Amino acid sequence: MQFSTFQQDLNTWQGTTLIFGIVEEDLKNQLEKINSIIDTNSLLDKINKKRFKGEKGKVLNFDFFDKKLQTLKIIGLGETKNINSNDIKNSLADIIRKSSDKDEKISILLPWELINSQEEIKSFGEAARLSTYKDNRFNSKRDDKQMLNEIEFLNLNKYENLSFKDTEYICEGVELARRLVAAPPNSLTPLEMSLQASQIAKDHDLEIKILDKDECEDLGMGAYLAVAKGSDLEPKFIHLTLKSKSPIKEKIALVGKGLTFDSGGYNLKVGASQIEMMKYDMGGSAAVLGAAKALGAIKPDGLEIHFIVAACENMINGSAVHPGDVIKASNGKTIEINNTDAEGRLTLADALTYASNLKPDSIIDLATLTGAIVVALGNDVAGFWSNDNDLANDLKNASADAGEELWQMPLQKSYKEGLKSHIADMKNTGPRAGGSITAALFLEEFFHEDIKWAHIDIAGTCWTDKNKGINPSGATGFGVKTLVQWIKNK
């Protein structure tokens, strides 16, 4: 899908579908803007008959059969003083998602003078594109009726030189993450994940290293390999590096949980634990690879960025890890595995140690780590933890800009008690209460304390059944936009 702008007089405009936003103010005057396309006097009559004043969230639909303009959708933006770009973004996304199977091009005209920045307009484009995402890879009929291939912004005036290049790259990153998350576990295996990473490296000129099981063993990654032991599929440890040509001012590592399937292991997922959904347990690594794709295209200056995924499956066989096993991670710490279903943190233990050894200034990890975060924050908000206030604030700002919701959770030191083991340095699982917090505290044991670190638990946000706003039902690609925005803000 491409983005375009049209800056000329509207009487030379060619289009069939127009979304026109109006505020609650002198309707007649606002309609003047489109009087070269349509008879605004009769339109005003019709609008008045429907008692529409421009109220926020209200939409009027007009179909014309004898004119060039076939469909006009008027959306209410509410009072000028309360105009809010997040609301606009969501109503645009809702409307466009529903009509993207009918139109090849959708044009948008809003009161641009009330929009404060180029970034907001770009986010409208991003929302429009992401809301129409469709995935037909696993359907033999492949009939998804996706028609829309152009989003056109009309008469942007002072924003006329807007470039949507980065927006396109970000959307491609989010779409890759969605494809990875939605792919079933017999398709997206650890090997396939490593091939996808190689493709990113090839397309955007990143360095890539893929460590096989023996190489991980040589590095002493006993925690990661304990998880992988019960699977017939080989684990793949993925490390991509994106280095700016300009002098490096900052080094960053992005680490993602990459369980291509999580059965729970011998602590098998039973009852309502949704074992059949556990293909999405690589949502963190999907966000990291999606960000790698976007940033590989954007090529930010002065940064060295590492993308790290310890990919494997958590399965059961005769050599699978037993509940009660004691293993050793690559930083030398021993762990009693009192629950094989708390496997994500074990893979992250070695991935974080590996990241830490690269001596980055900061590490951000993303993981579908705990059911507890879903109970705490639901499906619209991800929880995050950080050992550094500046990093926490930067992340909050980035997520607000990106339109992904994050809520900071405490690294409650007193809960470390819950991870005490009688036999090893620690257990991998604490008590049920505060389960997402003890998970974060566990991760904190595996990198150098001078490194700024944040952990984002996306167990609730990486998938949606709601078909709302910019997210059609299914994988959301959550995290890509925040990561890219955080880097762009540097």
Q: How far is the CB of 343 from ligand BES (least distance, A)?
A: 5
Alpha-carbon torsion (112, 15, 107, 31), positive or negative: positive
Cβ neighbours of residue 81 closer than 8 Å, sequence gap 6 or more: none
Q: Please, are residues 427 and 335 in contact by the beta-carbon 8 Å criterion?
A: yes
Compute the least distance from the CB of residue 481 to ligand BES, in Å. Answer: 20
Tell me if 429 contacts ligand BES by CB under 6 A.
Answer: yes
Question: Which is nearest to 105 in space by CA: 200, 204, 183, 1?
Answer: 1
Q: How far is the CB of 456 from ligand BES (least distance, A)?
A: 13
345 catalytically annotated: yes
CB-wise, 15 or 344, nearer to ligand BES?
344
The residue with its CB nearest to Zn ion is 262
Tell the smallest beta-carbon distance from residue 225 to ligand BES (Å).
17
Of 89, 97, 236, 269, catalytic = 269
Selected range binding ligand BES among 91-99, 146-154, 288-296, 365-373, rule: CB under 6 A: 365-373
370 binds ligand BES (CB under 6 A): yes
Rounded distance between C-alpha atoms, residue 465 and residue 380, angstroms: 11
Among 406, 403, 402, which residue's Cα sits nearest to residue 376?
406
Q: Which of 125, 173, 371, 403 binds ligand BES (CB under 6 A)?
A: 371
Residue among 268, 265, 366 at smallest CA distance from 318: 265
Contact residue for Mg ion among 313, 341, 350, 401 (CB under 5 A): 341
Residue 382 interacting with ligand BES (CB under 6 A): no
DSSP state of 387: S
The residue among 302 and 431 lying less far from ligand BES, judged by its C-beta, is 431
278 or 483: whose CB is closer to Zn ion? 278
The entry of ligand BES, Zn ion, Mg ion, none that residue 429 binds, CB within 5 to 8 Å by partner kind: ligand BES
Choice between 435 and 469, CB closer to Mg ion? 435
Instruction: Please give the residues from 207 up to 246 whose contact with ligand BES meets the rule CB under 6 A.
Output: none
Residue 262 lies near ligand BES (rule: CB under 6 A): yes
From the centroid of its chain, how far is CA 360? 23
What distances in angstroms separate CA 39 from CA 8, 23, 33, 53, 154, one per listed residue?
A: 19, 20, 11, 18, 18
Scanning 119-127, 137-145, 329-337, 364-372 for contacts with ligand BES by CB under 6 A, the matching segment is 364-372
Q: What are phi and psi of 147, to 5 degrees?
A: -105, -40
Torsion of CA 338, 344, 348, 349, to 10 degrees: 0
Task: Give how many residues touch Mg ion by CB under 5 A.
Answer: 3
Residue closer to ligand BES, measured from CB, 398 or 406: 406
- What residue type is assigned to position 81 of the chain? K
Q: Around 176, how many Cα atoms within 13 Å sit in the side-chain half-sphere?
A: 25
Does 394 engage in binding with ligand BES (CB under 6 A)?
Answer: no
The footprint of Mg ion on residues 231-290 (CB under 5 A) is: 262
Q: How far is the CB of 342 from ligand BES (least distance, A)?
A: 4
String of contacts with ligand BES for each residue 323-352, x by CB under 6 A = ----------------x-xxxx--------
CB contact set of 411 (below 8 Å; sequence gap of 6+): 385, 386, 387, 437, 440, 441, 444
Nearest-CA neighbor of 485 among 405, 400, 406?
Answer: 400
**Using the 8-state DSSP alphabet, how is residue 468 labeled?**
B
Select from 100-108, 248-256, 286-294, 334-342 the region that touches Mg ion (CB under 5 A): 334-342
Q: Taking CB within 5 to 8 Å according to partner kind, which of ligand BES, Mg ion, Zn ion, none is near residue 404?
A: none
Q: Are 197 and 240 in contact (CB under 8 A)?
A: yes
Tokens representing residue 456 in the block: 């984002």
Q: How far is the CB of 35 from Zn ion (least distance, A)?
A: 58
- In angstroms, the CA 334 to CA 347 distance is 14
With b for 16 or more beta-carbon neighbours within 10 A and e for fewer, the 351-386 pattern comes to: bbbbbbebebebbbbbbbbbbbbbebbebebbbbbb
User: 175 by DSSP, 3-state: which?
Assistant: helix
Calpha distance 120→481 (Å, rounded): 14
Query: Does 269 participate in catalysis according to the annotation?
Result: yes
Pick from 284, 403, 435, 479 the residue near ligand BES by CB under 6 A. 435
Q: At closest approach, how far in Å is the CB of 278 from Zn ion?
A: 7
Selecting among 89, 97, 293, 345, the annotated active-site residue is 345
Among Mg ion, Zn ion, ligand BES, none, residue 198 binds (CB under 5-8 Å by kind): none
* Shortest-Cβ-distance residue relative to ligand BES: 371
Residue closer to Zn ion, measured from CB, 344 or 469: 344
Query: Shortest CA distance to 418 belongs to which of 448, 440, 403, 400?
Result: 440
Q: Which of 459, 470, 475, 483 binds ligand BES (CB under 6 A)?
A: 459
- Between 54 and 230, name the residue whose CB sits nearer to Zn ion: 230
Residues found near ligand BES in the complex (CB under 6 A): 262, 281, 339, 341-344, 368-372, 374, 429, 435, 459
Residues that bind Mg ion (CB under 5 A): 262, 341, 343
Active-site residue numbers? 269, 345
